[in-house]
Structure 1
Amino acid sequence: MFWENFGNLSYSTIDGDEIAVVYFRAGYEPGQYHSEKEWEARLTIERSKAIKSPSIQYHLAGTKKVQQEVARLGVLQRFLLESEANLVGQLFTGLYSLDLGPEGDEVIKMAMENPDRFVLKPQREGGGNNMYGDEIKEFLEKVKDTPAREAYILMDKIRPPMQHNYLVRGGTEVKLSEVVSELGIFGVLIGNEKEIMINKFAGHMLRTKLSSANEGGVAAGFGALDSVFLFD
């Protein structure tokens, strides 16, 4: 691979062919950057002309902390029309900051008094990182007076309607069970700091898990792929 710089931009080639797209299969958490070499590589890619999936802006926009800040009253109105912001705001569940200070202290008190109502989320992706129930209470007791709490947000637990269905997964018995589902929407967004060129719907994925399970990631082994059935 060869990188050549032009001012603040660069391009990369392999055997003379310019690299057009960089897809990040990893690099979504600090532990995956083992030295300065990895951070330098990420910076080089971000400065390049290649399309990044995701770019650092979209990567950060998908973090739990940014989601929590966007859910604050009045923030959506900076990016959407008032009517659009009101519609989008109806889709939010409760998201709460644990930043040091009186507001964060009240949130921690609320969580410790009723931990079964919430999910504690770190800035991680891929499933298996969230905390529930008494685990929340025990963890917050340890970090409530330290900056470590700021790496997490608190979210109201979503309680979707239960259904009866079969989960087909390797190594487990197939039987009729109580399950809940989560619908994810895929989108395509291409843009830069000045302009959005493409922003459109690109499909969906339905994940289903046992109603008794906290996590629902398919790759992590907690859930299964499902199909949508629409009816009147």
Structure 2
Amino acid sequence: MSTETKLERPQSLTTTAKTHIREAIVAGEFSFGSQLSESVLANRLGVSKTPVREALLQLKHEGLVDVQPQSGTFVFQPTDDQVREICRFREVIETAALRFAVLRDSAALVRRLEETLTADDEVGAAGGSAAENAATHPQNHHDAAFHGAILDCSGNPYLQASYRLISDKINALRSRLDKDDTKTDLCHQTHSTIVALIRGGDIAEASKELSIHIRSTEESYIRASQCARGDAASHIVRQRRAGASTDRRAP
């Protein structure tokens, strides 16, 4: 064995639990506002409740879960105003990142963005809308890859850290988009336009197009959050009715 070989430290159970719970929330497996049971999660992951509890506390600090004393732990449930605030914040960060990325290396930015467009074309050729594929494989969501590339190419760690404050929430909203939403179907076309503007050196227009793009998807995200909240409320009602029915049948 080479003396330079380094063994990777295994992830802690808390980190593993946190990753799995986060992915389930982002992918839409857990509805907005739904209650998370430590026991159920522990059984599902094959661990004790301690790492699950620690994972949920960490996710609380990241804004993905809401821990309510004497009530339980719930998946975050964004209001319409909160969705708007997330999108406005996103617009500020992404347009600033675009300018930094162009100043740093415009050619490298164009290459990265074109790679995401090529991947998007391959998904389209395989069948299904971008939103449909995202719901199945959120990690391969090419809209997220396109916008993430802008942040990566900015080379600014402070902008990147700021974006991470909302990236999971944005991805959670993306995974809940209606596959028939016309705004989401236009994403690839808009991305192509932005790349063409950057390639042509019209950075002001590219930044303007990016802002318009983010604002145009705001209402789609609001509709997605409203539908998700409605689904969660219906689920709670069904649970309560089932509980009441069980109580009436009990001897």
Q: TM-score, normalised by structure 2?
A: 0.24
Higher strand share: 1
Higher relative contact order (CA 8 A, sep 6+): 2
